[in-house]
Amino acid sequence: MTTETIVRIFDQTGEFAEDKNKAKEMRAKEILPALERNETVILNFEKVNSTTQSFIHALISEAIKQKGIDILDRLLFKNCNQIVQEVVKIVVEYLQDPPKLSDLPTNDDENGHKASSFGKRI
Amino acid sequence: MEIYLPNTAHLGNIDPFLKSIIMTEPTKLKISFHPKWVSVHPVVIALVASLGQTIRENKGELICAESKALSSNYLIRMGLFNFLGISPPRLVEEHESAGRFIPLKKINSDAKLKQFLDDLVPLLHLVEHPEQAEAIKYTVSELVRNVFEHANSKHGAIVCAQYFKTSNKVAIGIVDAGVGIQKNIDAVHNAPTDEEAIRLALIPGVTGTTVNAGGTENNAGAGLFIVKSIAQVNRNFFLLYSGNAAFKLKKTPESSRMTLHADPLADRHSSLTKLPYWQGTVVGIDISLDQTQSFASLLAKIRQFYSLEKSKNKLKERMKRPKFI
């Protein structure tokens, strides 16, 4: 049976999870050691109203870089509202394929720059 | 140094104000005002406060002309004269209940940032705009933390904000007198000019902490891109000024389709060069309260761009998704 470690984000950050120093602490003291012990880590965002990309990146990116993307099978996100879910998705997608400067075009246009190939309409 | 607060200087028409700042004689600062009416963006007030702070620190000379304009009550309430250490031209109630503004604050610690974020909703009366409040809190947090981590600024960030009724928007100014973007970015990327450094800083994945795409465990290099995108998706202005260059995102007209780009120079923008040299970084942003979409859906739109061309190369289909339980 897999052991679980539950990390309660609200207890560390309050309802707006933005303090990266707290994220680093949770990463170093709870998340990475638990993953190292082959436990499942549940990041519980109960009572958290919002968060930032910087906070979530500081919280989970090192685990993904160290263990590979499949670590998401045992790094789970619980009680996330829509805002938190969107920020987590941004960070996870970004980590799997970060933009590269070399992908940007160098052709000139009227501004001296061409719209990036990354540009996409909504 | 000389600075003149004009009749009007908001993000849409701030260029003449920026060009008019005189940075010579760094031990002396003269401040003067339009005689009849001064209506300026909070970023202007934060910028003046930052210059004043530098002068005070260096025990320089501060000469402030008398402001007779009735609108100088606004400058008084925003705490400008107190911040400069000079007597305000008249007494006003510092924060009357109808006011929707956050006066100048120096934020140089996690605790002060938390306090500012906690005060933001009540002081700007955003209780009835919870979605926009989240966007504003997000923006302030990311920008101030950028100052903490990259600016090497002795005093952290100087921040103030104001709600403008006629345009129904919240305007925010965040200023530091740190090392500036060029020094930061050029440490790991090739950014020989302020203009190029600002461009690189706005590209997602570029950070002054590593050459590697995607950043480090502590810095993704995406903060400024997302903040700019929040302004863009809301069809608002965004200004980033450092050294002698500035990037100004223009408003996207309602009639235009929304397009986000990784390269900011592909955005609808103006690039200002040969500006008076600003030692540090200046950020101004407007957030409209007219938007009815939720902050989550705004983030979802940004994420669509964030994943960029992945749908084309099939990578997106193979991507691992986070598990929400």
B298 is a domain residue? yes
The candidate with the shortest Cα–Cα distance to B173, out of B91, B237, B244, B267, is B237
* Residue pointed to by tokens 């069809």: B235
B322 is a domain residue? no
Helix, strand, coil percentages (3-state) for chain A, rounded to 5, are 50, 15, 35
Residue B299 to residue B129: CA distance in whole angstroms:
17
Q: Which pair of tokens denotes residue A57?
A: 């990146």
- Which pLDDT belongs to residue A51? 97
Over residues A81-108, mean pLDDT:
79
Per-residue pLDDT tens for B62-76? 998 887 777 778 888
Q: How far is B230 from chain A (nearest CA, A)?
A: 12
Number of domains in chain B: 1
Residues of B whose CB is below 8 A from A119: 259-263, 266, 305
The candidate with the shortest Cα–Cα distance to B249, out of B290, B277, B297, B285, is B285
Give me the percent of chain B exceeding a pLDDT of 70: 91
B301 is a domain residue? yes
- Sign, CA dihedral A21-B209-B137-B100, equals positive
Residue B139 to residue B126: CA distance in whole angstroms:
15
Residue A50 has φ and ψ, to the nearest 5°, of: -155, 165
Three-point CA angle B309, A64, B151, nearest 5°:
80
- Sign, CA dihedral B64-B70-B76-B78, equals negative
Residues 6+ away with beta carbon under 8 Å from B120: B102, B126, B133, B136, B137, B140, B161
| CB contact residues (below 8 A), chain B span 88-147, against chain A | 110, 113-114, 117, 134, 137-138, 141-142, 145
B37 is a domain residue? yes
Q: How far is B200 from chain A (nearest CA, A)?
A: 9
- Which pLDDT belongs to residue A112? 42
| CB contact residues (below 8 A), chain B span 295-314, against chain A | 295-297, 299-310
Grade residue A117 by pLDDT with cuts at 50, 70 and 90: very low
Contact B252, B232 (CB under 8 A): yes
The candidate with the shortest Cα–Cα distance to A57, out of B93, B97, B76, B145, is B145
B90 is a domain residue? yes
Q: Is the pLDDT of residue B317 over 70?
A: no
Over residues B217-231, mean pLDDT:
86
Q: Which chain B residue has the Cα nearest residue A111?
A: B265
| pTM, two decimal places | 0.91
Q: Do A20 and B218 touch (CB under 8 A)?
A: yes
Residues of B whose CB is below 8 A from A14: 114
- Which pLDDT belongs to residue B240? 98
- Which pLDDT belongs to residue A122? 38
Q: Is the pLDDT of residue B50 over 80?
A: yes
Tell me how far CA of residue A115 lies from CA of A107, B228, B259, in angstroms: 9, 16, 10
Grade residue A100 by pLDDT with cuts at 50, 70 and 90: low
Grade residue B101 by pLDDT with cuts at 50, 70 and 90: very high
Q: Do A90 and B323 touch (CB under 8 A)?
A: no
Span of B67-71, B123-127, B164-168, B184-188 with lowest mean pLDDT: B67-71
Tell me whether B259 touches chain A (CB under 8 Å).
yes
B318 is a domain residue? no
Q: Which pair of tokens denotes residue B102?
A: 């956050």
B265 is a domain residue? yes
- Give the nearest partner residue to B220 out of A54, A88, A89, using CB atoms: A54
> Within 13 Å of residue B149, how many CA atoms lie on the same side as its CB?
21
Q: pLDDT higher for B301 or B69?
A: B301
Q: Is the pLDDT of residue B98 over 70?
A: no
| CB contact residues (below 8 A), chain B span 146-185, against chain A | none
B28-37, B185-194, B279-288: which is most confident: B279-288
- Which pLDDT belongs to residue B208? 65
What is the extent of the structural domain holding B251?
Answer: 2-310
B171 is a domain residue? yes
Q: Do B259 and A72 touch (CB under 8 A)?
A: no
Residue A96 has φ and ψ, to the nearest 5°, of: -80, -25
What is the rounded average pLDDT for all residues in chain B? 88
ipTM metric: 0.91
A83-92, B64-73, B247-256: which is most confident: A83-92
Contact B301, B239 (CB under 8 A): no
